[in-house]
Amino acid sequence: MNWILLLEQTLNGFQLGILLFLLAAGLTLIFGIMDLINLAHGSLYMMGAYFAATFTQWTDSFLLGVLLALPACMLFGVILERIALRTLYTRSHLDQVLATFGLILFFNEFVRLIWGPIGLDIPLPELLSGSVELFFGIRYPAFRLVIIAVGIMVAFLLYLLVSKTKIGMLIRAGASNRQMVSALGININLLYTVVFGLGTALAGLAGMMAAPIMTVEIGMGEGILIITFVVIVIGGVGSIKGAFVAALIVGFIDTVGRSFLPDILGLFVSNDIADTAAPAISSMLIYILMALILAIKPQGLFPPKGA
């Protein structure tokens, strides 16, 4: 086996994991605190990418585009929460699934109406569009390194926010006992709005980070949404730490599976079968992992206390 390749694939897995974490963090926060299953989280990811693409076009700078898109996303999330989602907090999960599924359909067509059916592109600055040489002669795309750096930074900031600030305290309290927080006279509605805005910004940021690698296009958030749900369920709903660990595991398994399964399978069956079966089996891996983990720990790896 080629160790440099393995190392590079590990890095790729890490990068995918980081991207998943950005999405999962917002989703798990919203779920943990408002008890809302938000299928439209993928749409927020899409909106982030579209905002960033538009602002990048206006300003001719990817950095400015992202800096403008972040508050735009947050504002978008706050408006969405006020108009549509607030009434859903007290509803059953089933109602939430249904209503937010409706929102997915709406946002897809809305984007098509505004930005057209052809996707958009985000041109990267010269500095980030190539690759850089790392240790052992590994060349790695510069922008993917940026994704990793941004993800780690966000993870660290989230950790500080949740464990060191007053709002973080409320978030933790809200995740384990919602009634108690509101009984203590905290403006729970404001907390909800803040958390939703934060979650939207995180999803949007993930979209902005993914956009230059993949296309900005309609429905871009749907495939990744399901994987994100897998991540938060494996990690334990409501747990940011769980989301982080699970995102890295899922990213790693997905990438390494895709890369090495054909060779591994080739040891047992004919190459033709291995070539065609491997993509399917590697896509199954994360679901098998989730089923296994839930069969052993029905509340995920890091269930929040009191849940």
**Closer residue to another protein, CB minimum distance, 10 or 193:** 10
Q: What is the DSSP string of the chain?
A: --HHHHHHHHHHHHHHHHHHHHHHHHHHHHHHHH----TTHHHHHHHHHHHHHHHHHHHS-HHHHHHHHHHHHHHHHHHHIIIIIGGGTTS-HHHHHHHHHHHHHHHHHHHHHHH-SS-B--PPPGGGSSEEE-GGG-EEEHHHHHHHHHHHHHHHHHHHHHHHSHHHHHHHHHHH-HHHHHHTT--HHHHHHHHHHHHHHHHHHHHHHHTTTS-B-TTHHHHHHHHHHHHHHHH-TT-HHHHHHHHHHHHHHHHHHHHHHHHHHHTTS-HHHHHHHHHHHHHHHHHHHHHHHHHH-TT-SSPPTT-
Q: In the complex, what is the shortest distance from the CB of residue 160 to another protein, in angstroms, rounded to a whole number? A: 28
Q: In the complex, what is the shortest distance from the CB of residue 63 to another protein, in angstroms, rounded to a whole number? A: 17
**Closer residue to another protein, CB minimum distance, 37 or 195:** 37
Q: In the complex, what is the shortest distance from the CB of residue 81 to another protein, in angstroms, rounded to a whole number? A: 14
**Closer residue to another protein, CB minimum distance, 143 or 196:** 143
Angle at the Cα of 199 from the Cα atoms of 197 and 202, rounded to 5 degrees: 110
Q: In the complex, what is the shortest distance from the CB of residue 287 to another protein, in angstroms, rounded to a whole number? A: 4
**Closer residue to another protein, CB minimum distance, 83 or 166:** 83
**Closer residue to another protein, CB minimum distance, 75 or 277:** 277
Q: In the complex, what is the shortest distance from the CB of residue 74 to another protein, in angstroms, rounded to a whole number? A: 22
Q: CB 301: neighbour CB atoms within 10 A? A: 18
Q: In the complex, what is the shortest distance from the CB of residue 157 to another protein, in angstroms, rounded to a whole number? A: 25
Task: Give me 307's structure tokens.
Answer: 């849940």
**Closer residue to another protein, CB minimum distance, 136 or 185:** 136
Q: In the complex, what is the shortest distance from the CB of residue 93 to another protein, in angstroms, rounded to a whole number? A: 6
**Closer residue to another protein, CB minimum distance, 197 or 236:** 236
